[in-house]
Chains A and B, each alone.
Chain A
Amino acid sequence: MKFKLLLILSFVYGNLIAQTDWERWDADNSVFQLKGIQERDYSLDKSNVGMMALTALRDLYWFAFSDLDGDNCPFHPTCSSFFVEAVKKTNLLQGLLMFADRFTRDTNFFKGFNHYEIDETGKFFDPVDNYTLTGTYIRKQSYHKRKYKLK
């Protein structure tokens, strides 16, 4: 009887102190993702109703998908930020066209091949201003001429 009780107690004790897979033990809560140079700003743009709706949609996308998916966009700014910024700097139609183009460029498997300048965090530097068709051209200072060297 005593032996049975001891056996049951040992099982209970074992269960009580057992390592569980739903709780972390003493491990450090490390995050191995590269820290983006731009912290996510969830604030709404209150300049007009349209921008407010758009930033709300972006925030919803960030909350429901992007933040869970992780820092996967290869561009800086990210495609969602690019779209919002494009609409803000131009208009909804032009912003949509710019976004469609960016999305297509994002699906290009060879986009890293001597094409974009590299950002501090290793992302492709692709600012909105270069696509607004106003003739503005922004480049990173560290950029070296490779492809477009004069003959």
Chain B
Amino acid sequence: MPIVLLAQPAELFQPGNRLKFGNYLFCSNDYLRAIDEFQNFLKYKKNDTVFFKIGLAYEKMRKYDIAQLYFASYPEKNAFYPEARLEFHKLFFLKKEFSALRENVARTGKNFEYYPEIKRLSYISYLFDDTDLPDSNNFKLWFNNSGQKKIIRYYRIKLNLPQKSLTVAGMLSAVIPGLGKIYAGETGDGITALIVNGLLGFLAYDNFRAGHKFRGWLFSGLTAFFYAGNIYGSVAAAQIYNNKIKTGYKQELEMFLERENYFLPDYKNLCK
């Protein structure tokens, strides 16, 4: 009798309950388990919303390729097609496949419901990769007033990113050892290089002057070794400086876009 009373009722795993539990998990950001529940639900009943939610759950879990497969499978006549297509484009952006995104946007007709949104994504993508930036007026065209100001700020930063020339860094270090490092922002390393090269050079000169040929040549070799290494290091330091600036810029831009939800509509009504 107690066993019968305590037994789990059979209807617990019915499709309706699985869907409810899946929705609860989805809205609690427990996407992996939500997908499991949704997939079990779909075994019994076809449902486009649930299918869309699975795609979104994979997107949230950063499984972009799988998510894109889900969104790409919506037929054109489906009610969710515009949203699925929008997410399909967004995933190119999240995967950082910017040229693929731009190609797909260029192929999309202007009568597509979310054309402005994908066009915005396409323009934002120019801020990330190394292709030339389009004209700022074209850029502004797709953003509203408040969005314009924010995005143009990043546009201007990208245009004027403080970058160091690798050639200048190398040449400066060739003239005065360490100067290229100082130019690349590594003052301590630059001064050290100057001292090391100066000291070894002086030892070479002093030993030659005192008639110690072997030691003279030894220190000459060491001077040449560290002199060449410093020129190389200055070029590398300039490149690291540039990369740090670029990475910092991209990180800040990514955080900004995440806050703005990539200027895209969100699906808060899915969790009401």
Mark A residues whose CB is within 8 Å of B. Answer: 94, 96-105, 107-111, 113, 115, 130-131, 133, 135, 137, 139, 145, 147-150
Contacts and interface: CB of A to CB of B under 8 A. Distances in A.
B13 to A, nearest CB: 40
30 contacts: A96-B229, A97-B228, A97-B233, A98-B229, A98-B232, A98-B236, A99-B229, A100-B233, A101-B230, A101-B232, A101-B233, A103-B229, A104-B192, A104-B193, A104-B196, A104-B229, A107-B196, A108-B188, A108-B191, A108-B192, A109-B192, A115-B186, A131-B236, A131-B240, A137-B240, A137-B244, A139-B247, A145-B248, A149-B248, A150-B249
Contacts of B30: none
A70 B138 CA distance: 61
Given A99-B229, A103-B229, A148 B189 contact: no
Interface of B: 157, 185-186, 188-189, 191-193, 196, 225-226, 228-230, 232-233, 235-236, 239-240, 243-245, 247-249, 251-252
A111 B189 CA distance: 7
B236 A101 contact: yes
Given A110-B188, A113-B188, A115-B188, A105 B233 contact: yes
B196 to A, nearest CB: 5
Q: Is the interface of B mostly helix, strand, loop or mixed?
A: helix
Sorted from nearest, which 8 A-B pairs have the closest CB atoms?
A100-B229, A101-B233, A137-B243, A97-B232, A108-B192, A110-B188, A101-B229, A131-B236
Given A99-B229, A150-B249, A105 B243 contact: no
A115 to B, nearest CB: 7
B163 to A, nearest CB: 12
A124 B239 CA distance: 19
Nearest to B252: A150
Tell which of A94, A104, A115, A147 has the most Cβ of chain B within 10 Å: A104
Contacts of B252: 150
Nearest to A138: B243
Contacts of B226: 100, 103-104
B227 to A, nearest CB: 9
